[in-house]
Structure 1
Amino acid sequence: MPTDSRNWLRWPLMLAMSALLCACGFHLRGSANLPFSSLYMTFAPTSPLGIELKRNIVASGNTKVLPSAEGAEVTLAVLSETREKVILTLNSSGRPSEYMLYYRLTFHVIDAQKKELLAPTLITLKRDISYNSSQELSKDAEEVLLYRDMQTDMVQQILRRLAAIKTVQTAPQEPVTMPAAGAATTPVTAPADVPVK
């Protein structure tokens, strides 16, 4: 079959696949609705993960990300954030031929009264990547893309955990007043149709 014919067939096939995805209810991941109105995060100002997470939270429209803990309903405190590259396999020359990339984040969430709403939580993501010294530049670029993909995945996992937090909001109770000592109390009388013994 000529190449031109293949190109003409490819577009209808792609359109059909798109239509099937829409028909089966496939949707892009949206912003999470968080159960609090304001949030402070302890990420460094230049943290790529913190920047992407803030962008997603702001996009939800119902939660503000504040620049300090003062006035914030809850605080997301980052306990540790690490990236690691571990050798998986070696080739016949004893050089690495495959790596595993790890991205780990530990955090917890507290409210304005320092009460822990979410206990310290560890999220670990990993991706494997092959290595070839003759393609070093392309492999470096692939590693950057994999970490970026893990970062996006990490943001979604954090949002899911934040959305699942149950904030305790207690309604104000009516004050209970006790009669003063020696004060007269209203006697309890029986209904007229009930004989008093």
Structure 2
Amino acid sequence: MMQRWLRFGIPLLAALWLTGCGFHLRGSTNLAFSRLAVQGPNGPLLIELKRQIAATTATRITDDAKQAQAVFILLQDATSQVPMAYNADGTVAQYQLVETARFELLTPGGDVLISPTTITQTSSLSYSTSATLAKANEADLLYRGMRQDMVNRIMFQLAAVRPGRSGANAAASAP
């Protein structure tokens, strides 16, 4: 009897606890438009955003802005490393990794759905000259994670856009 309880009861209690706390897997995102033109410098952020839109929404990406219901424009995508701390010998001991994206969402006619918005992600990276390659790989992983967080934030803002709302209202409702 005790083995049966352990085998079935504990997983059942865990499942009930997870549903009770509001946990759910991230599903698809509902965007208010079925066709979206994505424009801007073709870098890792734009590629990841296109991939995320294609994988998690019913929205299709089009190359022609005139055929789209909305036009996403990536105005800026920049990464940088800022020295934050130095060793006694004057070498850098810690960097702050920064990725910044600036974007806007317009209708094909030029009406603003999301006014120009800047999103910045930062992360700290300790540095050692004896592990240069490992730290470069770690920096790449951190940038990838920051980029994915930025894509999720952009997707959240795109999902908050509703037809008929002005850019100020759409931007004010999203974080």
Q: TM-score, normalised by structure 2?
A: 0.79
Which of 142, 148, 152 aligns to 1:146? It is 142
**Deviation readout 1:161-186 (Å, 9 max, x if unpaired):** 111112129xxxxxxxxxxxxxxxxx
Structure 1 gap segments, 5+ residues each: 1-14, 170-197
Query: Who wins on radius of gyration, i.e. which is larger?
Result: 1
Distance in 2 between residues matched to 1:42 and 1:144, nearest whole Å: 24
Equivalent residues of 1:31, 1:57 under 8 A apart: no
Which of 94, 97, 101 aligns to 2:93? It is 97
Return the offset for 1:22.
Answer: 4.1
Is 1:68 the counterpart of 2:64? The answer is: yes
Point out which structure has higher relative CO (alpha carbons under 8 A, 6+ apart). 2
Return the offset for 1:124.
Answer: 0.4
Q: How has the CA–CA distance of structure 1 residues 28 and 92 changed in structure 2, closer, same or farther, with 3 Å as cutoff? A: farther
1:167 corresponds to which residue? 163
Return the offset for 1:58.
Answer: 1.6
1:195 corresponds to which residue? none
Return the offset for 1:66.
Answer: 0.5
Structure 2 gap segments, 5+ residues each: 1-9, 166-175
Is 1:57 the counterpart of 2:53? The answer is: yes
Q: Which has the higher strand share?
A: 2
Give the letter aligned to residue 82 of structure 2. Answer: V
2:44 corresponds to which residue? 48
Q: TM-score, normalised by structure 1?
A: 0.71
Equivalent residues of 2:69, 2:107 under 8 A apart: yes
**What is the alpha-carbon root mean square deviation over aligned residues?**
2.0
